[in-house]
């Protein structure tokens, strides 16, 4: 292992000015790091869904620290063959490559773990408190130093030698303990507040779903409905849409696409509805289409394109206001692309993460790729749009479950067309949409307030850490109490003693 040189004057000038009794050192100086191990990729490693020893991977180390879930496992025999990958507890772990780069966490003492891919463990000597170092590395000051050393690769990475070069504010162990204790005290109160905010978030989600459920069961408008006279029913609305479709088909010379109605057995399996309502398919009140991905090698399909081309990733927002890609008129003429009008409802047929099943409303004219179902409504159908969008949002999880396929299950146009939903008269639909939007607007405001409060909490967390490593967290009384201890000494004196001890023991 190469010798770690002390910080140069130039490097020191780029760092904070520390209070008296503190000193900047590199993490690998004076042999503070006793062991630094990364994942050992060998033929001995076979992962299992269940096993003896949980494996810690990059996903188990977040910005919040150690995440004890979603483990894979190895058997005890693997651990015995790779002892350097054994984690006893108390070690600092760091993500050194890929997603989560620079995230750190500390492992609890109550169980053994196995060091997995993209994670390194850092063992420290007894002059550094593990939590003190952990808190520093997770602070803006420390995190910036780590990620600043990242190699410019596709994933980004930090070498083992980089970690030894990280500068850290050094202070006597007694003072480190006091700082850690004060941070934990303040974080405890902060974490309680955050837990309450998270609980409120979950309660809002439950309330939102309860509102939508009652809406499409007819409960939100039950009293409204009782006050109406001569209210048309779902059959009247369907008949009006049928006539309009026939007239439009006659004018264009095209045939009306027939929709197979729900059978009595299918309707019997669906929940009961209020009088005047009826179960219908999306295809009964909408036309459903999709798009394509023009050949990438055809440069003339994309170069200087002006027609927005929307992909499923854009559907993670409630509205699609713009596109990140554009195609040309040539692409439109030579492929099966279609320009969909404003206010078309788009549903993701497949996509990364939880994109599949997401519904967004198009606020521009645009084309789409084949990963999107475009729900187009014309004439009277347009008045159903807001109601149908809310239904699709409410049934996001149920629609996702209809997917078919293996590793990446997909929806398809047939599934979307044949999705059944409860139809009622247009006046009641308008009343339902108003009731939902009134309630959910309050919900949205509360959710926004919670998000802002969580952002402030994280800012406060970083403020606490920043003060801690600027030497400003302990009060004058707390600091005086620590420095009155017999074994306290300024960092410079302590470092000189450590250096002398290393030399005396024959270590550099």
- Convert the pLDDT of each residue in 385-412 to its tens digit: 999 999 999 998 888 887 765 556 789 9
Q: pLDDT-derived band of residue 327, with 50, 70 and 90 as boundaries? A: very high
Average pLDDT, the chain: 89
Q: pLDDT-derived band of residue 202, with 50, 70 and 90 as boundaries? A: very high
Residues 216, 248: one domain? no
User: Quick check: is 139 in a domain?
Assistant: yes
Residues 320, 438: one domain? no
Q: Which position has the higher pLDDT, 352 or 322?
A: 322
User: Per the structure block, which two tokens stand in for 201?
Assistant: 């978030």
Residues 319, 202: one domain? no
The pLDDT, as a whole number, for residue 508 is 55
pLDDT digits (tens, 9 = 90+) for 34-75: 777 776 666 678 888 888 899 999 899 998 889 988 899 988
User: Quick check: is 498 in a domain?
Assistant: no
Contact yes or no for 432/423 (Cβ under 8 A): no
The pLDDT, as a whole number, for residue 129 is 92
Residues 414, 440: one domain? no
User: Quick check: is 111 in a domain?
Assistant: yes
Q: Residues 188, 190, 194, 196: is their CA dihedral positive or negative?
A: positive
User: Per the structure block, which two tokens stand in for 443?
Assistant: 């919900």
Q: Which position has the higher pLDDT, 140 or 186?
A: 186
- Is the model's pLDDT at 505 over the cut of 80? no
Looking at the structure of the chain, the number of domains it has is: 3
User: Quick check: is 144 in a domain?
Assistant: yes
Q: Last residue of some domain: 401, 424, 447?
A: 424
Distance CA 179, CA 160 (A): 27
Q: Last residue of some domain: 375, 392, 424?
A: 424
Contact yes or no for 114/93 (Cβ under 8 A): no
The pLDDT, as a whole number, for residue 448 is 96
Residues 70, 182: one domain? no
Domain encompassing residue 464:
174-230+426-488
Residues 185, 154: one domain? no
Residues 226, 239: one domain? no
Sheet holding 53-56, edge to edge: 72-74, 53-56, 113-115, 86-87
Residues 153, 186: one domain? no
The pLDDT, as a whole number, for residue 2 is 59
Distance CA 508, CA 505 (A): 9
Q: Which whole-number Å values give the CA distances from 277 to 29, 238, 378, in the listed order?
A: 76, 11, 22
User: Quick check: is 502 in a domain?
Assistant: no
Contact yes or no for 334/359 (Cβ under 8 A): no
- Is the model's pLDDT at 152 over the cut of 60? no
Residues 224, 326: one domain? no
The pLDDT, as a whole number, for residue 43 is 67
Distance CA 96, CA 155 (A): 10
Q: Which whole-number Å values give the CA distances from 139 to 129, 143, 162, 416, 467, in the listed order?
A: 16, 6, 18, 47, 10
User: Quick check: is 2 in a domain?
Assistant: no
Report DSSP state, residue 368: E
Contact yes or no for 30/502 (Cβ under 8 A): yes
User: Quick check: is 493 in a domain?
Assistant: no
Q: pLDDT-derived band of residue 486, with 50, 70 and 90 as boundaries? A: confident
By the 10 Å C-beta count (0-12 exposed, 13-18 middle, 19+ buried), 32 is classed as buried
Residues 218, 100: one domain? no
Distance CA 388, CA 386 (A): 5
Q: List, in sequence order, the alpha helices (H) in 148-172.
A: 160-164
User: Given its phi and psi angles, is residue 294 left (phi above 0), alpha (psi -120 to 50 degrees) or beta?
Assistant: beta
Residues 328, 285: one domain? yes
Contact yes or no for 292/337 (Cβ under 8 A): yes
Query: Looking at the DSSP assignment, which residues form a beta bridge with residue 114?
Result: 55, 86
Contact yes or no for 311/352 (Cβ under 8 A): no
In the block, tokens 């008045």 appear at 383
User: Quick check: is 95 in a domain?
Assistant: yes
Please tell me the total number of residues recorded for the chain in this structure.
508
CB atoms near residue 339 (< 10 Å): 13
- Is the model's pLDDT at 15 over the cut of 90? no
User: Per the structure block, which two tokens stand in for 61?
Assistant: 């180390």
Rg (CA), the chain: 31
Q: Last residue of some domain: 424, 443, 464?
A: 424
CATH number at residue 115: 3.90.220.20
Residues 420, 335: one domain? yes
- Is the model's pLDDT at 495 over the cut of 70? yes
User: Per the structure block, which two tokens stand in for 380?
Assistant: 């009277």
Nearest to 372 by CA among 290, 256, 452: 290
Burial string for 248-282 (b: 16+ CB within 10 Å, else e) reads eeeeeeeeeeebeebeeeeeeeeeebeebbbbbbb
State the virtual CA torsion across 429, 430, 431, 433 in degrees, nearest 10: 80
Burial string for 302-336 (b: 16+ CB within 10 Å, else e) reads beebebbbbbbbbbeeeebeebebbbbeebbeebe
Distance CA 323, CA 344 (A): 15
């Amino acid at each position: 292992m190469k010798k770690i040189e002390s910080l140069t004057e130039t490097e020191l000038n780029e760092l904070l000015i520390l209070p008296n009794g503190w000193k900047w050192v590199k993490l690998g100086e004076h042999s503070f790091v006793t062991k630094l191990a990364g994942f050992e990729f060998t033929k001995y490693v076979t992962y299992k869904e269940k096993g003896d020893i949980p494996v810690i991977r990059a996903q188990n180390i977040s910005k919040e620290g150690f995440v004890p879930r979603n483990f894979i496992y190895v058997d005890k025999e693997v651990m015995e063959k790779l002892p350097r990958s054994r984690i006893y507890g108390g070690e600092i772990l760091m993500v050194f490559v890929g997603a989560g780069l620079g995230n750190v966490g500390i492992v609890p003492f109550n169980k053994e773990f196995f060091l997995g891919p993209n994670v390194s463990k850092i063992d420290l000597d007894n002059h550094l408190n593990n939590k003190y170092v952990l808190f520093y590395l997770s602070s803006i000051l420390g995190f910036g130093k780590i990620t600043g050393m990242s190699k410019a690769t596709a994933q980004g990475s930090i070498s083992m030698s980089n970690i030894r070069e990280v500068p850290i504010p050094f202070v006597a162990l007694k003072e480190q303990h006091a700082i850690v204790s004060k941070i934990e005290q303040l974080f405890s109160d902060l974490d309680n507040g955050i837990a309450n905010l998270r609980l409120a978030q979950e309660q809002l989600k439950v309330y939102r779903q309860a509102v939508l459920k009652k809406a499409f069961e007819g409960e939100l408008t039950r009293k409204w409905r009782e006050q109406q006279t001569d209210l048309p029913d779902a059959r009247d609305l369907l008949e009006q849409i049928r006539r309009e479709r026939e007239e439009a088909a006659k004018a264009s010379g095209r045939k009306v696409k027939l929709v197979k109605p729900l059978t009595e057995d299918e309707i019997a399996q669906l929940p009961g509805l209020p009088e005047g309502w009826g179960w219908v398919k999306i295809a009964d009140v909408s036309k459903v289409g999709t798009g394509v991905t023009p050949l990438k090698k055809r440069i003339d399909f994309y170069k200087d394109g002006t027609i927005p081309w929307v992909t499923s990733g854009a559907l993670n927002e409630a509205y699609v206001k713009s596109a990140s890609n554009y195609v040309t008129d040539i692409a439109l003429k030579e492929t099966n692309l279609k320009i969909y009008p404003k206010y078309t409802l788009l549903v993701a047929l497949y996509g990364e993460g939880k994109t599949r099943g997401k519904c967004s409303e198009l606020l521009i004219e645009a084309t789409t790729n084949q990963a999107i179902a475009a729900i187009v409504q014309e004439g009277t159908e347009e008045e159903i749009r807001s109601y149908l969008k809310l239904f699709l949002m409410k049934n996001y999880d149920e629609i996702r479950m209809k997917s078919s396929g293996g590793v990446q299950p997909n929806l398809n146009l047939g599934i979307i067309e044949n999705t059944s939903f409860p139809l009622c008269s247009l006046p009641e639909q308008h009343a339902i949409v108003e009731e939902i939007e009134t309630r959910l607007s309050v919900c949205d405001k509360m959710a926004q307030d919670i998000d802002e409060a969580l952002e402030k909490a994280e800012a406060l967390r970083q403020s606490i850490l920043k003060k801690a490593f600027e030497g400003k967290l302990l009060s004058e009384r707390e600091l005086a109490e620590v420095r009155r201890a017999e074994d306290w000494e300024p960092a410079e004196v302590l470092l000189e003693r450590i250096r002398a001890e290393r030399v005396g023991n024959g270590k550099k």
